[in-house]
Structure 1
């Protein structure tokens, strides 16, 4: 009986020890989310070679940074020759602070689920081939400081929800196909206008306003200023950006 009791105690202790050594559940979910991203990406330089799905803790993978609790805080894959799509599962990385995927060939839309990344400080998706609209859900990123979406194929308006992110210091959405109005209140009031788009559209718009009433250089100057003021107040047509 004593021998059987000792064996039972040993088995219980072994089970407890094993449970303490197992990675926490969040490592599994974060690893699964990142591996889902990997499966959608083409990786000609094998920068994701260390992303082994059999290693449930992604903190051991290259280009991943974790905090002391083994929660993923950085994803650094800028300028890595990757192509493919972003995945909604990225929204499960609730402690992520830096999402760096700039200068690749990422296509498709920005998932709405990125709005779940409440700890995000920097969202850098510039110089890709991302299309679709800027999700209004990004307005939920109340810790965001850097938002760089420039040099993509984004269309539609700048979501007014972004005006509620009072931590924003850098916004660049230039060189896209955006339209509508730029929020001119905090936090956008201190951001240079050239970060919102190419204002060559102003001169195209002027051609529709100038008419036979322009008889002199002064007339042209006055008409031009009137047109610019009107654009700054009222433009809502796609392929145009104005202040609001």
Structure 2
């Protein structure tokens, strides 16, 4: 390129910058028109770069829109995703409604906060093209029921993902395994399935999935050395609480309430705030059953009988058992016999046991059972003798 061409090149670049900044200005004018601004937001200047809560770079390209807690109503214009230099879009806690437009052109966007609004739909691939995203907050919007996997494209820079109080369903997407996520909040959704991939999310610091339908055990968490908050309240999780959780050095908050955990009550350091009160009755004796080892309960577990791979009998009489009778027995639909007699069990007989289709004998005699006896079918023999408080409520 000769020197004579340089002025022309500079002129073309200048014209390009002017054209793109003018495009940004038109999009911002459309945004102003689509919103009902409140009196404390002054967007009257013809130059959007001089508007309150808006920032631009040296080429008058819009880089930040921050309209937090302004009680603004209205919708977002469809061309908002053409603000290609936008780094922060923060509309937290307003009354903006309608669809979230296609934002795939926001390749430099690092923070997307649309939390606490009235958005009712998202584009098909919400995060497509947003390879710079670090923080996403979409909590508390009336989205229609949608699958989590649909909005879980790989985002290499994403550190914080908060999608609480929406209508997501399905399981955790495999793309989260090995991700760099540090904060994952999915509480109060309709999500289900296993949380086993959690063991591969080694960058996690905060994990909150309370109020969903996840099931199965908590996986080995020994690789999550930075984990400080672990909240799995109100789930259908089962099995033992892994020792790898209780020994994490940076752990400060744990909530295990209202699950179906078994085995001993986990012991955490005094520095850890633990809420497991409502689920305490799911835990049994202070030490794990020494004769329940291995992963196959049909092979060598004391008191367990099976036909092929189905558990048909549980006979644990006179084993010094404490705690209460778990309603999780109702999930073993091949059970024909449950004998828990001559132990020190408390609480009531779970009504869920009446749903066992093949049950023929339930023996809870000589314990400390109280409460009413649920109504079983006529083919089930229920033995409750030796329980002084049967038929009365525990005071």
Fold-level match, TM-score > 0.5? Answer: yes
The aligned residue for residue 97 of structure 2 is 107
Q: CA RMSD in A?
A: 3.2
Q: 1:73 to 1:204 in 2, by over 3 A?
A: closer
Q: In 2, distance between residues paired with 1:171 and 1:40?
A: 28
**Pair 1:171 & 2:161 matched:** yes
Q: 1:96 to 1:161 in 2, by over 3 A?
A: same
2:69 pairs with one of 79, 94, 100:
79
Q: CA deviation at 1:139?
A: 2.9
**Pair 1:127 & 2:138 matched:** no
Q: In 2, distance between residues paired with 1:153 and 1:91?
A: 22
Q: In 2, distance between residues paired with 1:225 and 1:63?
A: 58
Question: CA offsets, 1:62-121, max 9 Å, x none?
Answer: 221111222111011111121011111111100000001111001011112x11100000
**Pair 1:151 & 2:140 matched:** yes
Q: In 2, distance between residues paired with 1:173 and 1:223?
A: 33
1:38 pairs with one of 32, 44, 54:
32
Q: In 2, distance between residues paired with 1:64 and 1:225?
A: 59
In structure 1, runs of 5+ residues without a counterpart are 1-19, 207-212, 227-244
Question: Could you say what secondary structure the match of 1:47 adopts?
Answer: coil
Q: In 1, distance between residues paired with 2:331 and 2:60?
A: 58
**TM-score, scaled relative to structure 2:** 0.43
Q: CA deviation at 1:129?
A: 0.8
Q: 1:169 to 1:66 in 2, by over 3 A?
A: same
Provide the aligned length of Structure 1 versus Structure 2: 192
Q: In 2, distance between residues paired with 1:138 and 1:102?
A: 18
**Bigger CA radius of gyration:** 2
**Pair 1:187 & 2:176 matched:** no
Contact 2:32–2:43 (8 Å) recurs in 1 = no
Q: In 2, distance between residues paired with 1:225 and 1:142?
A: 46
Q: CA deviation at 1:137?
A: 3.9
**TM-score, scaled relative to structure 1:** 0.68
Q: 1:224 to 1:50 in 2, by over 3 A?
A: farther
Contact 1:166–1:186 (8 Å) recurs in 2 = no
Q: CA deviation at 1:219?
A: 4.4
The aligned residue for residue 12 of structure 1 is none
Higher RCO structure, 1 or 2 (CA under 8 Å, sep 6+): 1
Question: Could you say what secondary structure the match of 1:126 adopts?
Answer: coil
Q: In 1, distance between residues paired with 2:61 and 2:129?
A: 20
Q: In 1, distance between residues paired with 2:95 and 2:187?
A: 21
Bigger helix share? 1
